[in-house]
Chains A and B, each alone.
Chain A
Amino acid sequence: MTTRIGVVTFPGSLDDRDALRAVKLAGAEPVSLWHRDKDLHQVDAVVLPGGFSYGDYLRAGAISRFSPVMETVIGQAKAGMPVLGICNGFQVLTESHLLPGAMLRNNHLHFICKDQKLRVENADTAWTADYESGQEIYIPLKNIDGRYTADERTLDELEAEGRVAFRYVDGNPNGSLRDIAGITNAAGNVVGLMPHPEHAVEPLIGTGRTDGLGFFTSILKRLVSA
């Protein structure tokens, strides 16, 4: 049986097609999920893609978090289903309280689009198993509200439990606390990050690197061996 990975389209999702393509390139079956549909159509994992769902109105991710599909995603994630939130998807995950913290406007106040160096701090999550702990990878970053923030106690807890999954290296692009680029929940099935691994999956496209493909091969191996 093929592994089915769903990608949710909210109104204003932009990188949903790219995420579907990345899933396919990794060898899994991509499945489009619609925000109004509570049914996850038997997918084994879900990607919440980047974009400006609901135009970032109110607050990035704040409205999408209440869409019908998220009701099921939140329930399933708590039951162990792997969920990856990329950029706006990460914002939806924090708004849903599946992950702690929040994203503020970049400290320089500009949208920034660049090839960003990251260190994989936790290679034991469902989405990072194909990387080595400490491995440095380049993944495109593009956002205006990307500055990760949380209270000191939460940050200490994340650090102590090894839940900082990715850190910015060679310069913090947006003022994120403790250079945090992405985090995981305690169980390691829910991962969110601001950079876009789905934009680094083909040698000819974008930055020309394929450092992001590991997210999608990691989850595929995990699901196949499960």
Chain B
Amino acid sequence: MTLDSVKHAEQTPETELPWAELGLKENEYAQIREILGRRPTGAELAMYSVMWSEHCSYKSSKVHLKQFGDKAPASDAMLVGIGEQAGVVDVGQGYAVTFKVESHNHPSYVEPYQGAATGIGGIVRDIIAMGARPVAVMDPLRFGAADHPDTKRVLPGVVAGIGGYGNCLGLPNIGGEVVFDDCYQGNPLVNALCVGVMKHEDIHLAKAAGVGNKVILYGARTGGDGIGGASILASETFDSSKPSKRPAVQVGDPFQEKLLIECTLEAFAEDLVVGIQDLGAAGLSCATSELASNGTGGMRVELDDVPLRDSTLSPEEILMSESQERMCAVVEPGKVDKFLAICEKWDVIATVIGEVTDGDRLEIFWHGEQIVDVPPRTVAHDGPVYERPMARPEWLDALQADDASKLARAADGDELRGQVLKLVASPNQADKSWITSQYDRFVLGNTVLSQPEDSGMIRIDDETGLGVAISTDGNGRYAKLDPYQGAQLALAESYRNVAATGAKPLAITDCLNFPSPEDPAGMWQFAEACKGLADGCLELGTPVTGGNVSLYNQTGDAAIHPTPVVGVLGVIDDVARRTPMAFAEEGQLLYLLGDTREEFGGSAWSDVIHGHLGGQPPAVDLERERLLGEILISASRDGMIDAAHDLSDGGLIQAVVESCLKGGHGARLVLPDGLDATTFLFSESQGRAVVAVPRSEELRFTDMCGARGLPATRIGVVDGDAVELQGQFSLPLSELRSVWEATIPALFG
């Protein structure tokens, strides 16, 4: 069979290529022909098709994501913004932190273990590629109904995959989320966040500059895995003699990734690297075209030199393979030997596969013939951009009119007691330690806080105690009721969680999980959420550093709730000042900060007690969130509070129960004037937290709240071994603990 070289393509202009099977639209294929002035070769088509896919090109989301840059708040903290592999934030003392959240939703549904595992692998490589040492990971996870048989297939696999990969890689898993909802039945959301630390001078960007510099591929050998929906290339069109079904999901090797981390960081430390890029989605197609596009444009690659796991791979397959644990570095010729020596030290295979040229074309050769000759920018950055039609869903008015505050409330203390038990034992509110105890949270010896605390906290300097805190949050139920507010509520909760531990929020990353962009309703939800998030970030002064978009999360007509997940990064000057969530001291006073209103729309109470979703989500007040954050941070710094817990899903009672169980002490609560018990216990009004104040600090603390205009209501005291609402009910901690801890192991253990 004739190799489809550039020359061959020129001679056979009429040859039909499988552009539609590769997911390209007719207009997109025409655009490629126009760029090249001829038909593409098979290899070129392979590259364009993967790089112009929704996943790589953001063609449907780009016009909306633009706001994150346009509306970015002025921030001294941003060192590298959106567009690089991950954003970089200044955290002081010469340190910089890079962090990013990504999705691995679809692979995790097909093959839960490997899908989740390689999700961790991919995000970790993004962080190393910036020059940072990864220091922690987190996993926001969403599954279908907890008692659905398929959830029993997906959840244990995902959890084992995250543990199996992350534990072996040696990164502490310090938090995340586990949420169950019918809407994720056919589309679980498996997001992964990684945070890394470096000194300012160590920041590295992905570009190939300097004519004559060598392009080195290092890490695992390239195999036929992960060719994905594009596996058509392994079909008859190119060569009928090959196995046509290869796994669409990649297989991870965390041991190889651990070596890759150490060898990459050593190469950075020796100043051997001009540019670097990890190989994730779209593999070599992405790495070569992005490196060249970000540099001066010219690059020549000898594809025959790529180390293979399977010698029968075609050049198209090599370009599209998503084999894991590979990276690409651009190195000056004089430093190549030293780079290769470091790889050898760590038993990592490294091969020079090309060099930077003085032209402006990416040229790839196979068996001596040229098979790719493209302007790299057209592959990597100048893909199609769509302004998809949008329409506010027709069902939204009726949904919002179905007001949750009309739902029946408990008539007496006994009924309230029953509702509290039912709430804390519900899968979404129950103890998740059956899951999180499968992750190593101690490795690296810097974990100050980890799940179930409001945010994970990592010390980054042993001497000064400088640390960072991260929380990831999202609430698809809120976003379903109002995507603009839903995105802001995710931001608000994450911001609050970080502040509750005493850290100052600096910047955010986001993972936007949405249904099909080709459905105008889904596209409208996406656009609203982007707008809400961009407006919210502007108001809170926390820029978006980067993130990820995952569209097409729907099976047939069943779309997921729009689920923007926000990760907020904060800094704390001395981790010794952190505020934990546990009520650990008898006699301390409990204060509720913020205003409580009758807000039940999208709440856990409306879901668990009434199976209801409707009305408006809780009102957003970002100015209040900022004030609450400032109070929590000041109180932590000045030692005025011993514990704090943010109020979110489940309301006040959920937070009090969690803090009591963690601390091993009960609480006596008193209903404040003007509130009914249901509102007091279950409302999900925003901008609130519960804090434990030592009696000696009460006056100083309430004076501070008063002076700054934050409502602080004394609601009770840490006391005894039950959670009691005076005159209504008393729940022994032992009873609460047994129902709270039993749910998840009973479902999945």
Q: Give residues in A with beta carbon < 8 Å to B.
A: 11-12, 14-15, 17-18, 21-22, 50-52, 54-57, 110-114, 140, 142, 144, 196, 198-199, 201-202, 204-207
Contacts and interface: CB of A to CB of B under 8 A. Distances in A.
Interface string B446-467: 1110000000000100100100
Nearest to A200: B442
Nearest to A57: B255
Nearest to A22: B445
Output the residue of A15, A57, A111, A144 with the most chain B CB within 10 A: A111
B442 A55 contact: no
Contacts of B300: none
Q: Which 8 residue pairs across A and B have the least CB separation, nearest first?
A: A55-B255, A14-B170, A18-B445, A52-B168, A199-B442, A111-B163, A206-B442, A111-B438
Nearest to A9: B262
B255 A204 contact: no
Given A113-B439, A198-B445, 19 more contacts: A11-B346, A12-B258, A14-B168, A14-B169, A15-B170, A21-B462, A55-B168, A56-B255, A110-B163, A110-B438, A111-B160, A113-B167, A113-B441, A140-B442, A142-B167, A142-B440, A196-B442, A205-B448, A207-B442
B459 A205 contact: yes
A12 B255 contact: yes
A22 B462 CA distance: 12
20 contacts: A11-B346, A12-B255, A14-B168, A15-B170, A17-B445, A18-B444, A51-B170, A52-B254, A54-B255, A56-B168, A110-B438, A111-B440, A112-B438, A113-B167, A142-B440, A142-B443, A204-B448, A204-B576, A204-B578, A205-B459
Output the residue of A11, A56, A113, A114 with the most chain B CB within 10 A: A113
Contact of A11 (B163, B347, B437): B347
B259 interface: yes
Contacts of A206: 441-442, 445, 447
B112 interface: no
B532 to A, nearest CB: 37
Contacts of B160: 110-111
Contacts of A111: 160, 163-164, 167, 438-440
Contacts of A201: 445
Contact of A15 (B256, B436, B443): B443
B724 interface: no
B425 interface: no
Nearest to A21: B445
A50 B172 CA distance: 14
A140 to B, nearest CB: 5
Contact of B446 (A55, A57, A205): A205
A30 to B, nearest CB: 13
A142 B439 CA distance: 8
B575 interface: yes
A110 B163 CA distance: 9
B576 A114 contact: no
A204 B437 contact: no
A11 B448 contact: no
**Residues of B in contact with A, size category:** 20 to 34
B322 interface: no
Given A11-B346, A204-B459, A113 B440 contact: yes
B544 to A, nearest CB: 31
Contacts of A50: 443
B253 interface: yes
A52 B253 CA distance: 12
A213 B215 CA distance: 47
Nearest to B438: A111
A13 B163 CA distance: 16
Contacts of A15: 170, 443, 445
Contact of A52 (B255, B439, B575): B255
A55 B448 contact: no
B255 A11 contact: yes
A114 B446 CA distance: 16
B258 A14 contact: yes
Given A111-B167, A112-B437, A204 B575 contact: yes
A218 B451 CA distance: 33
Contacts of B446: 205
B168 A113 contact: no
A144 B442 CA distance: 15
Interface string B233-274: 000000000000000000001111011000000000000000
Nearest to A54: B255
A111 B170 CA distance: 14
Interface in B388-445: 436-445
Nearest to B749: A108
Contacts of A56: 168, 255
A111 B462 CA distance: 29
Contacts of B259: 11-12
Interface string B288-316: 00000000000000000000000000000
B448 A113 contact: no
A173 to B, nearest CB: 10
A22 B445 CA distance: 9
Output the residue of B163, B170, B346, B438 with the most chain A CB within 10 A: B170
B251 to A, nearest CB: 13
Contacts of A18: 443-445
Contacts of A11: 255, 258-259, 346-347
Contact of B254 (A55, A198, A204): A55
A40 B437 CA distance: 36
A108 to B, nearest CB: 8
Contacts of B441: 113, 206
Interface in B131-179: 160, 163-164, 167-170
Contacts of B444: 14, 17-18
B95 to A, nearest CB: 17
B347 A114 contact: no
Given A113-B440, A205-B448, A12 B462 contact: no
Contacts of A55: 168, 253-256, 258
A12 B576 CA distance: 31
A137 B578 CA distance: 25
Contacts of B168: 12, 14, 52, 55-56
Nearest to A140: B442
Nearest to A18: B445
